[in-house]
Protein backbone atom coordinates (compact mmCIF):
# COMPACT_ATOMS: atom_id res chain seq x y z
CA UNK A 1 0.00 0.00 0.00
CA UNK A 2 1.42 3.38 -0.86
CA UNK A 3 1.71 6.26 1.58
CA UNK A 4 -1.42 8.03 0.35
CA UNK A 5 -3.50 4.93 1.01
CA UNK A 6 -2.19 4.63 4.57
CA UNK A 7 -3.16 8.26 5.16
CA UNK A 8 -6.68 7.69 3.87
CA UNK A 9 -7.08 4.45 5.79
CA UNK A 10 -5.95 5.95 9.11
CA UNK A 11 -8.38 8.81 8.93
CA UNK A 12 -11.23 6.65 7.69
CA UNK A 13 -10.63 4.04 10.40
CA UNK A 14 -10.83 6.77 13.05
CA UNK A 15 -14.02 8.21 11.61
CA UNK A 16 -15.54 4.74 11.26
CA UNK A 17 -14.76 4.08 14.93
CA UNK A 18 -16.68 7.25 15.78
CA UNK A 19 -13.83 9.35 17.13
CA UNK A 20 -12.90 12.95 16.59
CA UNK A 21 -9.16 13.40 16.27
CA UNK A 22 -8.78 14.84 19.80
CA UNK A 23 -10.77 11.97 21.34
CA UNK A 24 -8.75 9.31 19.53
CA UNK A 25 -5.46 10.93 20.50
CA UNK A 26 -6.49 10.99 24.16
CA UNK A 27 -7.50 7.30 24.08
CA UNK A 28 -4.19 6.43 22.42
CA UNK A 29 -2.22 8.45 24.97
CA UNK A 30 -0.64 10.67 22.34
CA UNK A 31 -0.98 14.28 21.29
CA UNK A 32 -3.44 15.35 18.64
CA UNK A 33 -0.44 16.68 16.72
CA UNK A 34 1.05 13.18 16.58
CA UNK A 35 -2.20 11.66 15.36
CA UNK A 36 -2.60 14.42 12.81
CA UNK A 37 0.93 13.75 11.57
CA UNK A 38 0.13 10.07 11.08
CA UNK A 39 -3.09 10.90 9.25
CA UNK A 40 -1.33 13.43 7.02
CA UNK A 41 1.52 10.96 6.54
CA UNK A 42 4.03 13.56 7.65
CA UNK A 43 5.07 11.33 10.57
CA UNK A 44 5.90 7.63 10.22
CA UNK A 45 3.55 5.17 11.88
CA UNK A 46 5.24 2.19 13.52
CA UNK A 47 3.67 -1.24 13.60
CA UNK A 48 3.47 -1.01 17.41
CA UNK A 49 1.49 2.22 17.03
CA UNK A 50 -0.74 0.46 14.49
CA UNK A 51 -1.41 -2.29 17.04
CA UNK A 52 -2.53 0.31 19.59
CA UNK A 53 -4.68 2.06 17.00
CA UNK A 54 -6.23 -1.25 16.00
CA UNK A 55 -7.24 -1.92 19.61
CA UNK A 56 -8.88 1.48 19.96
CA UNK A 57 -10.54 1.51 16.52
CA UNK A 58 -11.61 -2.13 16.67
CA UNK A 59 -9.72 -3.23 13.55
CA UNK A 60 -6.75 -5.39 12.72
CA UNK A 61 -3.54 -3.36 12.66
CA UNK A 62 -2.74 -5.05 9.34
CA UNK A 63 -5.84 -3.37 7.89
CA UNK A 64 -4.14 -0.01 8.33
CA UNK A 65 -1.31 -1.08 6.05
CA UNK A 66 -2.88 -3.75 3.86
CA UNK A 67 -6.64 -3.37 4.32
CA UNK A 68 -9.40 -2.77 1.86
CA UNK A 69 -9.04 0.95 1.24
CA UNK A 70 -12.26 1.17 -0.74
CA UNK A 71 -14.32 -0.28 2.12
CA UNK A 72 -12.89 2.24 4.60
CA UNK A 73 -13.59 5.12 2.22
CA UNK A 74 -17.14 3.91 1.55
CA UNK A 75 -17.90 3.72 5.27
CA UNK A 76 -16.28 7.10 5.90
CA UNK A 77 -18.41 8.77 3.24
CA UNK A 78 -21.55 7.06 4.54
CA UNK A 79 -20.91 8.35 8.09
CA UNK A 80 -20.12 11.85 6.84
CA UNK A 81 -23.31 11.91 4.77
CA UNK A 82 -25.34 10.94 7.84
CA UNK A 83 -23.93 13.79 9.94
pLDDT at 6: 60
pTM above 0.75, yes or no: no
Is pLDDT above 90 for 17? yes
Domain ranges of the chain: 3-76
Query: Span 17-38, mean pLDDT?
Result: 96
Query: Taking the CB of residue 32, how many other CB atoms lie within 10 A of it?
Result: 15
Query: DSSP of 17-70, one letter per residue?
Result: TT--HHHHHHHHTS-HHHHHHHHHTSSPPPHHHHHHHHHHHTS-HHHHHHS-HH
Residue (of 25, 24, 11, 29) closest to 80 by Cα position? 11
pLDDT (tens digit per residue) in 39-55: 888 888 888 998 999 99
pLDDT at 1: 44
Q: Per CATH, which fold does 3-76 belong to?
A: 434 Repressor (Amino-terminal Domain) (1.10.260)
Amino acid sequence: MDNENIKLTLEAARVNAGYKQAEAAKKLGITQTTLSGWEKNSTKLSYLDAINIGKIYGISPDALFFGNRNEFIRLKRKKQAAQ
